[in-house]
A and B are shown apart, each in its own frame.
Chain A
Amino acid sequence: MPVIDLAEVSRRDLNSQLHALVPSTNETHWRVENPNGQHALAAGVDAPITIEIAGHVGYYCAGMNKQATILIEGNAGVGVAENMISGMVHVKGDASQAAGATAHGGLLIIDGDASARCGISMKGVKIIVKGSIGPMSAFMAQSGMLVVLGDAGDALGDSIYEANLFVRGNVKSLGTDCVEKTMRDEHKAELRKLLDTAGLNGEVSVDEFKRYGSARTLYNFHVDNASAY
Chain B
Amino acid sequence: MCGIVGLFLKDRKLEPKLGSLLAGMLEVMTDRGPDSAGFAVYGSGDADHVKVTLRGRELEGIAETLGHGVKGTLRDNHLVLSFPKDREDQIRTWLAAERSEIKVIGVGQRIELYKEVGLPAEVSKRFGLPDMSGTHGIGHTRMATESAVTTAGAHPFSTGADQCLVHNGSLSNYRSLRRMLEPKGISFETDNDTEVAAGYLSWKLRDGATLAEALQSSLVDLDGFFTFVVGTESGFAVVRDPIACKPAVMAETDQYVAFGTEYRALVGLPGIGSARVFEPEPARVYAWERH
C-alpha spacing A94/B279, complex, angstroms: 8
Name the B residues within 8 Å of A38 (CB-CB). 264
- Give the contacts of B232-291 with A (CB-CB under 8 A): 243-244, 247, 249, 262-264, 266-267, 273, 277-279, 281-282
Q: A75-B277, A94-B279 are in contact. Are A134 and B262 (CB under 8 A)?
A: no
Task: Using CB atoms, name the residue of chain A closest to B275.
Answer: A56
Please determine whether A58 and B244 come into contact, CB atoms closer than 8 angstroms.
no
Which of the four size classes fits the interface of chain B? 10 to 19
Could you tell me which residues of chain B, from 147 to 174, have a CB within 8 Å of some CB in chain A?
Answer: none
Among B244, B263, B266, B267, contact of A134 (Cβ-Cβ < 8 Å): B244
Q: How many angstroms from the CA of A75 to the CA of B278 in the assembled complex? A: 8
Known contacts: A75-B277, A134-B282. The answer to whether A115 contacts B244 by CB under 8 A is yes
Instruction: Tell me if A205 counts as interface (CB < 8 A to partner B).
Output: no
Within 8 A of B (CB), among A49-80: 55-56, 58-59, 74-75, 77-78
Q: How far is the CA of A36 from the CA of B264 in the complex (A)?
A: 6
Query: Which of A37, A115, A116 interacts with B263 by CB under 8 Å?
Result: A37
Counting residue pairs across A and B whose Cβ atoms lie within 8 Å, the total is 48
CB distance from A101 to the nearest CB of B (A): 15
**B279 in contact with A115 (CB, 8 Å):** yes
| Shortest Cβ gap from B239 to chain A (Å) | 15
A58 contacts B243, CB within 8 Å? Answer: no
A60 to chain B minimum Cβ distance, whole angstroms, is 12
Q: A37-B267, A75-B263 are in contact. Are A93 and B243 (CB under 8 A)?
A: no
Sampled A-B contacts (26; CB under 8 Å): A36-B263, A36-B264, A36-B267, A37-B262, A37-B263, A56-B263, A56-B277, A58-B262, A59-B262, A74-B277, A75-B249, A75-B263, A75-B277, A77-B247, A77-B249, A77-B262, A77-B263, A78-B247, A94-B278, A96-B247, A96-B279, A115-B281, A116-B243, A116-B282, A135-B244, A136-B243
Counting from the closest, the 3 A-B pairs by CB-CB distance are A37-B263, A37-B264, A36-B267
